[in-house]
Amino acid sequence: MTTLIVGLVLLLGTHSISIINDPWRNRMAARLGEKAWKGLYGVVSLVGLVLIIQGFGSARVSPVVLYQPPSWLHPITVLLMLAVFPLLLAAYLPGRIKTMTKHPMLAAVKLWAFAHLLSNGTLPDVLLFGSFLAWAVLDRISLKHRAPRPVPGAPEAVRNDAIVVAAGLVLYLLFMAWLHPVLIGVPVI
């Protein structure tokens, strides 16, 4: 469990710098250079991600059950996840979906985390998904008080919405049928 917690602190901690102190983040990026800052940020985030994966896998071996979700929530989780991949893609392929959601990646993280909390009630699940949900909510709130930074991606176009939906659905189906059991070790259907 310690490995999971350290991973969450590293990954979400680096992603919370702008939430906590955006001027400090900007000063550090200016001092180090934007590329060096992003490189350091990326390395710490990657270490955090690896620790989360290892820690979550280890913690799932003998989990503490906090609550037992009713079985009827599982189809709701599957349905909610339908929007996650298109929202993730909409962050990089801007169109009407991005305009309507403003921050589609944060919307995807919130939806992913909430959906998984509906179907999973062990301590590692609550730590993982609850932490990501809390972080995404706080980040979304803080974005209202920060100057926007450009996100690399394709130019804005109406056709991007069709690409986002089609590619998102393909990713969803791949993840449901094959990737989730292979990568996570838990069959969805």
pLDDT tens per residue across span 110-136 = 999 999 999 999 999 999 999 999 999
Per-residue model confidence (pLDDT) at position 156: 81
Domain boundary among 22, 42, 62: 62
Instruction: Assign 168 to helix, strand or coil.
Output: helix
Range 1-19 average pLDDT? 96
Range 155-183 average pLDDT? 91
Domain that includes residue 136, residue range: 63-189
Are 16 and 65 a contacting pair, CB within 8 Å? no
Q: Cβ atoms within 10 A of the Cβ of 116, count?
A: 19
Rounded CA-CA distance 171/83 in Å is 11
Please indicate, yes or no, whether residues 147 and 82 belong to a single structural domain of this protein: yes
Per-residue model confidence (pLDDT) at position 184: 83
Per-residue model confidence (pLDDT) at position 155: 82
Are 63 and 121 a contacting pair, CB within 8 Å? no
122 DSSP β-pair partners: 65
Domain boundary among 43, 62, 81: 62
Domain boundary among 23, 40, 62: 62
Rounded CA-CA distance 20/13 in Å is 10
Instruction: Assign 18 to helix, strand or coil.
Output: helix
In the DSSP assignment, the letter for residue 154 is P
Per-residue model confidence (pLDDT) at position 180: 87
Range 149-167 average pLDDT? 86
Please indicate, yes or no, whether residues 99 and 111 belong to a single structural domain of this protein: yes
CA terminus-to-terminus distance, the chain: 28
Instruction: Assign 167 to helix, strand or coil.
Output: helix
Are 4 and 127 a contacting pair, CB within 8 Å? yes
Residue 187's pLDDT band (cuts 50, 70, 90): confident
Per-residue model confidence (pLDDT) at position 32: 93
Q: What is the pLDDT of residues 30-81, one digit of tens each?
A: 999 999 999 999 999 999 999 999 999 999 999 899 999 999 999 999 999 9
Please indicate, yes or no, whether residues 86 and 174 belong to a single structural domain of this protein: yes
Please indicate, yes or no, whether residues 154 and 177 belong to a single structural domain of this protein: yes
